[in-house]
A and B are shown apart, each in its own frame.
Chain A
Amino acid sequence: MFLKMNSRKISTYCRLVLLTALTLLPASGITQEPTSTSTTDIAILKKKYTRPPNAVPYPETNPYSAEKAHLGKLLFFDPRLSKYKNLSCVSCHHPGMGWEIGLARPIGSGGVSDPMPRKSQTLLNLAWAESFFWDGRSETLEEQIKVALQAQRAIALTPSELLKTIQSIDGYGPLFKSAFQSKESPTWDQAVQALATFIRGIVSGKTPFDRWIQGDETAISREAKNGFLLFNGKAKCATCHSRWNFTDGGYRDIGLASSDLGRGKSMPHVITMQYAFKTPSLREIAARAPYMHDGSLATLELVIKEYEKGGSVKRPGLSPDLSAIELSKSEEQDLIAFLKTLSSPISSNNELTTIPPMVF
């Protein structure tokens, strides 16, 4: 085989063999520092996860302004803007839980007797998202917000009910006027645009993993480094959880036992979309239990076990990007150690996450 390869191919081949060997080492309980040869491969892998420039992309139809983002934050945290004046966006998208909530079925306006059918999703890095909801039924964040505000199990307000409440609170008038430079009364679209502007600013903080890929070798443990190699190699996680936000934005049936058709509901004739759900970002994943669209897996250990099976239920639309994998106990732990490096430190100085004063 080597005879038919040129020198470049041979070098690539050798590197791949070494990389594979490295990912296999911990199976025997041995964890070694990466060799100098494999450093090139690790550098290539690291590059794929480099965060984008600091500038958050805002759409031309709803450009950023500090006033709009500030107003959006006030609306986001205000419980008076809900059917029973007892919940707000933060009820299901809590900054301390990776901007989602630790319930398999979050409780909204339907109360405990009629909770939401799917787990709430993180709001992190939605400025880069390409479609919204677990089933991708909204193409823009603004559209998604409109659905959540009106859904009976969520905020459950009609546009006119929301505006009536906003108008009954004197403090909101000047804030809308300044955010939209308009003398008119607040509108439904303005409220939605302000919320979207705030939400697009929810970007995951710098994590130990980010520091490591920038060159700080002490930022993460040896186990986590090995977990990163497994993530990109044997465990095949990076097939779908790719790039800096750890998602390719795709929708897949991953073989979870569930009666929810997911994206199949809106695409009834497409086999691959039956029981298909969005591939979520993995940033802040340690804070985001329980896992999966239905919150059916309580821990990261259980999630990894589920993926090792290559899907519990082999339906016709099961994603071909998924296949059974075999991991040792120590490999599973290394993977988890890596996933935990995707959490940013909590800070009381974080303007984004501190609850704002109520508007009167």
Chain B
Amino acid sequence: MKITIIFSLLILCTPAQAKILEILQSGRTFLESTYEKQAKALNDNPEETRKHALKEITLHLGDSLVFKNLDTIAHNVVGVNFDLNVQKPGAISTPQIFDKAGVYEISCAIHPKMKLKVIVQAAP
């Protein structure tokens, strides 16, 4: 019984494993990675792409984002304190860690309307 309680407490106290999430760039929008197979078709249909655009994402402290350019044009993701520089079609960025709680807006410098709000939740 005692062992079970100690074990349960240990699990509760261990911080959640930091995740790396992949964000797609397609049709001048950010998309969830689940749209990877549809990205090309969506790219040819701007109206449809916009409907699926990812506008906001919530992360836990320490999570990272990776940006994958599935577009036919280059992108350049910038945040308050980072600049992924130019990403040619097909390029995958290095993971960008979010280790401070808060709300951040990231965008493409080349396409200013391509925006993503990142909410980083503090550890409980």
Rounded to whole Å, the gap between the CB of B74 and the closest CB of chain A is 5
8 Å CB contacts to B: which residues of A231-255? 239-240, 243, 248-252
Q: Does A271 contact B (CB under 8 A)?
A: yes
Across-interface contacts of B78 in A (CB, < 8 A):
267, 270
Contacts of B110 in A (CB 8 A): 250-252, 272-273, 276, 319
Are B112 and A248 within 8 A (Cβ)?
A: no
Assess whether A248 is in contact with B113, with CB atoms less than 8 Å apart: no
Residues of chain A contacted by B85 (CB below 8 angstroms): 271-272
Expressed in whole angstroms, the Cα–Cα distance for A240 and B76 within the complex equals 15
Given contacts A48-B44, A248-B73, A321-B73, contact A269 B83 (CB under 8 A): yes
Residues of A near B88 (CB, < 8 A) are 320
Q: Given the complex, which residues of A lie within 8 Å of B76, measured CB to CB?
A: 270, 272-273
Once A272-B85, A319-B74, A320-B86 are accepted as A-B contacts, the answer to whether A248 and B44 lie under 8 Å apart by CB is: no
In the assembled complex, the Cα of A44 lies from the Cα of B44 at a distance in Å of 9
Chain B 61-95 interface mask (CB, 8 Å, partner A; 1/0): 00000000000111010100001011010000000
Whether, in the assembled complex, A189 has its beta carbon less than 8 Å from a beta carbon of chain B, the answer is: no
B102 located at the interface, meaning its Cβ lies under 8 Å from any Cβ of chain A in the complex? no
Q: Is B100 positioned at the interface, with any CB of A under 8 Å from its CB?
A: no
Distance in angstroms between the alpha carbons of A239 and B88 in the assembled complex:
12
Whether the pair B109, A251 counts as a contact (CB closer than 8 A) is yes
Q: How far is the CB of A278 from chain B (nearest CB, A)?
A: 10
The answer on a CB contact under 8 Å between B83 and A130 is: no
B94-124 vs A, Cβ < 8 Å mask (1 yes, 0 no): 0000000000000001111100000000000
B74 touches A320 (CB 8 A): yes
- Report how far A319 CA is from B86 CA in the complex, Å: 8
- B60 contacts the other chain (CB 8 A): no
Q: What chain B residues lie within 8 Å of A251 (beta carbons)? A: 109-112
Q: B87's closest neighbor in chain A, by CB? A: A320
| Alpha-carbon gap, A248 to B78, bound state (A) | 19
Residues of B within 8 A of A321 (CB): 73-74
How far apart are A327's CB and chain B's nearest CB, in angstroms?
21
Known: A239-B73, A243-B46. A248 touches B28 (CB 8 A): yes
Contact between A249 and B83, CB atoms less than 8 A apart: no
Within 8 A of B (CB), among A262-293: 263, 267, 269-273, 276
CA A269 to CA B76, docked complex, whole Å: 12
Interface presence of A136 (CB below 8 A): yes
Query: Is residue A131 within 8 Å, beta carbon to beta carbon, of the partner chain?
Result: yes
- Contacting pair B74 A273 (CB below 8 A): no
Bound-complex Cα distance A206 to B110 (A): 30
Task: Give A13-32 as 1s and 0s: 1 = Cβ < 8 Å from B's Cβ atoms.
Answer: 00000000000000000000
Q: How far is the CB of B1 from chain A (nearest CB, A)?
A: 59
A136 contacts across to B, CB distance below 8 A: 112
Chain B, residues 14-57, CB within 8 Å of chain A (1/0): the string is 00000000000000100000000000000010100000000000
Do A270 and B109 touch across chains, with their CB atoms under 8 A apart?
Answer: yes
A315 to chain B, nearest CB (A): 12
Question: Of the candidates A44, A131, A271, A272, which one forms a contact with B113 in the assembled complex, judged by CB atoms under 8 Å apart?
Answer: A131
Partner of A250, one of B44, B46, B86, B111: B111
Q: Which residues of B contact A250 (CB under 8 A)?
A: 28, 73, 110-111
Known: A48-B44, A272-B85, A272-B86. A130 touches B113 (CB 8 A): yes
Which among A240, A269, A271 is the interface contact of B73 at CB below 8 angstroms?
A: A240
Q: Can you name 26 A-B pairs with beta carbons within 8 Å?
A: A44-B44, A130-B112, A130-B113, A131-B112, A139-B112, A240-B73, A248-B28, A248-B73, A248-B111, A249-B113, A250-B28, A250-B110, A250-B111, A263-B109, A267-B78, A267-B109, A270-B76, A271-B83, A271-B86, A272-B74, A272-B109, A272-B110, A276-B110, A319-B110, A320-B74, A321-B74
A residues whose Cβ falls under 8 Å from a Cβ of B: 44, 48, 130-131, 136, 139, 239-240, 243, 248-252, 263, 267, 269-273, 276, 319-321
Smallest CB-CB A-B distances: 4 pairs:
A130-B113, A250-B110, A320-B74, A272-B76
Besides A248-B73, A251-B109, 12 new A-B residue pairs in contact (Cβ under 8 A), listed by A number: A130-B112, A239-B73, A248-B28, A248-B111, A249-B112, A251-B110, A267-B109, A270-B78, A270-B109, A320-B74, A320-B88, A321-B73
Q: What is the interface of chain B, defined by CB distance below 8 A to chain A? A: 28, 44, 46, 72-74, 76, 78, 83, 85-86, 88, 109-113
